[in-house]
Amino acid sequence: MLTNVMQLTLKSCKKLNFYNYLFMGLNKNQSTNALYLFQGKIITAATKESHTLEKNGKFYNQYDSVEGRITDVKIVDGYEGNKDVAMTITDIEGSYTMYFGVNSNYFRSFARSVKNVDFTKNIEFFPTYKKEGEKINTSLLMKQDGNWIKRFYTRENMGEMPVAMPVEVNGKTTYDYKDQNDFLIAELIGKFEEEKLPF
């Protein structure tokens, strides 16, 4: 019987040709087990013969969620000088590394909930995507022990988390999250290092 600490499942999108992936997991023969977040789905590199998404001439498979124990968290260089979270998720068969931008709602929704997470246990991750007109909302939700993880930091309770600073660009107001992101990164790395298992 698999334990909470060791089980990993990738749940497919609701398409018939994903049935096999529910039981096979990712293809271990690929050069990397990298996971990326795209429009509310987890995507992995695929072949022309077996894929569910084509983007800019490249082929991918899509999944609704991934579940496992976090065994490493790093901040790495991303696209065009940006920073990415590189989070390793491990099961009894191997490891996957999920990448998402630090300056994104995926990161902020995840990091604002981290203080309510137990890193010694399984976590299931669900990216979301919603578009209303020109506004796009994304998030990375988590479930642990069958319960949705609530955010520790909210608009009503910011605690010590710095607020995003309004900045005017080309006559439009946007927000600078640098101080908030730095705070959340430090909290994420610190909590993980404190709680991580030695294996």
The β-bridge relationship of strands 147-148 and 58-77 is unpaired
- Report whether 10 contacts 65 (CB < 8 A): yes
Residue 190, CA distances (Å) to 72, 138, 170 in order: 12, 25, 38
pLDDT of residue 8: 43
Q: pLDDT 10s per residue in the chain (199 long)?
A: 122 233 344 544 333 233 233 323 343 333 348 999 999 999 988 877 777 787 888 888 899 999 999 999 999 998 888 999 999 999 777 889 999 999 999 999 999 999 999 999 999 999 999 998 888 999 999 999 999 999 999 999 999 999 999 998 888 888 999 999 999 999 999 999 999 887 6
pLDDT of residue 12: 40
Tokens of 11: 């749940």
pLDDT of res. 169: 85
Is 9-195 in CATH node 2.40.50.360? yes
Q: Which is it for strands 95-101 and 34-38: parallel, antiparallel or unpaired?
A: parallel
pLDDT of residue 171: 84
Please say whether the beta carbons of 121 and 4 come within 8 A: yes
C-alpha distances (whole Å) from 176 to each of 56, 138, 158, 168 are 30, 17, 16, 10
pTM: 0.79
The pLDDT assigned to 57 comes to 81
